[in-house]
Each structure stands twice: as structure tokens, then as C-alpha cells.
């Protein structure tokens, strides 16, 4: 299956957009197109991931996490080998859509979003009618009685609820937010803004280094690299960052729990 995003194609596109096709073969070796991929991996992808990280689901249990109780709080520590070198940026939420046996969090409530915190069992009374059940759901909707994740960088989190109650679940599924490791995990629908970010980063890399060569007189030629055009392209990075910031808290970002209220 052909991948939607290709590094070679991206580098060729940047070369063409910056007008470097005739110049690129004559650049110093450490500035030629083969070196641009490192700039994208070290600069562009890191910046892009902070706004639109990669996400994947992970089962939290004894095999993937170490647990340690500090005071009344049970902390889960994600094991390094589970991340396989990916940089953890945060945790989105428990995957409430998963109803498999791996997600025991869905079976720890008496009704709706009522859950038993560890150490403080508080069973709700039995409802005698559908009307009473609906009334209870209405009242519960006024308060946050569900479980939420308290994440602390770099790799630990705990489960909390109403009144700062702490939960200790044996198995559940969370959605991790990690840094992209390649172009393959970036959605094609977001590649347009990512390409603009990469173009600005490559232009800045070339401008900051080639400026030391510009205007040099030799016995054969006076070097004029037209660096002002590269400088202008590099200056567009701030505009791209502003575009990412504006899109960060919109429905365009899959990692933001955005709700439409009517």
C-alpha cells in the first residue's frame, strides 16, 4: 500500500517552491537536499506535534504500567519500553467507547456515570421507576461525577473524580498523545500547513548558513545567492505558528474534546 505522505516527495516540493532546483547541486554537502530531512524531523515535526500530536490507544494494566501509592493517591507510571522511543506529550482521556473486557472502568459504576472510588464505596439507592432514573441522570449532569485523568509530565498519571476521590482500576484503556515519529502518522488533510512549516524551516536553515558565503569575491565570480528571498520564506514561520495556534482549539484538532451545544 502506497503511503499518503512521502519524505522524498516533500523535499522535492520544498526545493521547487524555494526556487532551489538550479542551485541545490552546488550547495555544500551538509546543506544539500539529503540533509533537509534532519531539519524536518528535529524542528518541523517537533513543533507540529505540540499542536497536533499523534494519538494511539493503550491498555493500562500491570504489563504496561507500574503502580505506586503516594498518600491516598494511586499513580500509574507508563513503562518506557511500552512507548518504544516515542516522546509522551500527554494523555487525552479514558477510551469510553471501548466496551471490551480490557476496559474495566465501564463496569465499575452502578448507573450512568456513578463510580466507586477506591477505599470509599458509596453505592447509590435502587431506583423504583424510569422517571426516578431520569431524574437522577438530570441531577448527575450538573456535576462532574465521572473519572478524569490527572497527568504529570513525563510519564505518570492518576484517576480522580468528584471531591478529589482517587480510583484504582485493574484494567482500562487510555488514549496517549505522543510526538510524531514520521510523516506517516500525519493526516493528509493537515499536510498543507505542515508543508508550509517545513518550507519555512528549510528556508531558515539555508539562509542562516548560506549568508556567510554570500557576496564573496573570488578570482572567477562574485557570489550572489539572492538570500533575501530565502529570508522572506523563513519569516513566514511565525504566520504558520499562528495558524496552528488558531486551529489548535477547534474541531479541526482531533485531540481536543470539543462539544457542540445547541
pLDDT for 197-233, tens place per residue? 999 999 999 989 888 775 555 443 444 567 788 889 9
| Residues in Cβ contact with 62 at an 8 Å cutoff, skipping those fewer than 6 apart | none
Chain position carrying cell 512549516: 197
This prediction's pTM: 0.75
The helix or strand, by DSSP H or E, that contains position 82, with its residue range, turns out to be helix 80-83
At residue 235, does pLDDT exceed 80? yes
CB 149 within 8 A of CB 93: yes
Domains in the chain: boundaries:
7-51+181-248, 54-178
Average pLDDT over residues 1-18: 81
At residue 152, does pLDDT exceed 70? yes
Instruction: Tell me how far apart the alpha carbons of residues 200 and 196 are, in angstroms, rounded to a whole number.
Output: 6
Q: What is the dihedral of CA 227, 229, 232, 234, to 10 degrees?
A: -60
Alpha helix (H) ranges present in the chain? 7-17, 33-39, 45-51, 80-83, 130-140, 191-210, 227-234, 237-248
The helix or strand, by DSSP H or E, that contains position 178, with its residue range, turns out to be strand 172-178
**pLDDT-based confidence at 180, cuts 50/70/90?**
very high
At residue 124, does pLDDT exceed 90? no
**What is residue 17's predicted lDDT score, i.e. its pLDDT?**
93
Tens-place pLDDT, residues 39-52: 999 999 999 999 99
Task: Report the chain's terminal Cα–Cα distance, integer Å.
Answer: 42
Alpha carbon 228 to chain centroid, angstroms: 34
**Torsional sign, CA 240, 246, 251, 256:** positive
Amino acid at each position: 500500500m502506497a503511503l499518503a505522505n512521502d519524505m522524498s516527495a516533500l523535499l522535492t516540493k520544498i526545493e521547487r517552491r524555494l526556487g532551489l532546483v538550479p542551485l541545490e547541486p552546488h550547495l555544500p554537502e551538509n546543506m544539500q537536499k539529503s540533509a533537509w530531512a534532519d531539519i524536518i524531523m528535529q524542528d518541523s515535526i517537533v513543533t507540529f506535534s505540540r499542536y497536533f500530536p499523534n494519538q494511539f490507544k493503550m491498555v493500562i494494566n500491570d504489563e504496561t504500567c507500574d503502580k505506586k501509592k503516594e498518600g491516598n493517591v494511586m499513580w500509574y507510571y507508563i513503562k518506557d519500553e511500552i512507548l518504544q522511543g516515542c516522546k509522551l506529550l500527554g494523555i487525552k482521556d479514558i477510551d469510553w467507547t471501548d466496551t471490551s473486557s480490557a476496559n474495566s472502568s465501564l463496569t465499575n459504576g452502578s448507573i450512568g456515570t456513578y463510580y466507586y472510588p477506591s477505599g470509599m464505596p458509596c453505592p447509590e439507592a435502587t431506583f423504583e421507576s424510569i422517571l426516578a432514573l431520569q431524574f437522577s441522570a438530570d441531577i448527575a449532569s450538573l456535576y462532574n461525577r465521572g473519572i478524569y485523568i490527572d497527568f504529570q509530565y513525563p510519564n505518570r498519571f492518576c484517576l480522580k473524580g468528584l471531591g478529589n476521590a482517587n480510583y484504582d482500576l485493574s484494567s482500562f484503556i487510555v488514549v496517549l498523545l505522543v510526538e510524531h515519529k514520521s510523516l506517516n502518522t500525519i493526516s493528509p488533510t493537515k499536510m498543507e500547513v505542515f508543508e508550509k512549516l517545513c518550507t519555512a524551516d528549510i528556508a531558515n536553515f539555508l539562509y542562516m548558513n548560506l549568508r556567510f558565503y554570500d557576496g564573496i569575491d573570488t578570482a572567477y565570480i562574485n557570489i550572489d545567492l539572492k538570500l533575501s528571498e530565502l529570508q522572506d520564506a523563513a519569516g513566514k514561520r511565525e504566520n504558520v505558528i499562528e495558524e496552528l495556534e488558531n486551529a489548535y482549539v477547534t474541531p479541526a484538532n482531533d485531540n481536543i474534546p470539543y462539544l457542540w451545544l445547541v
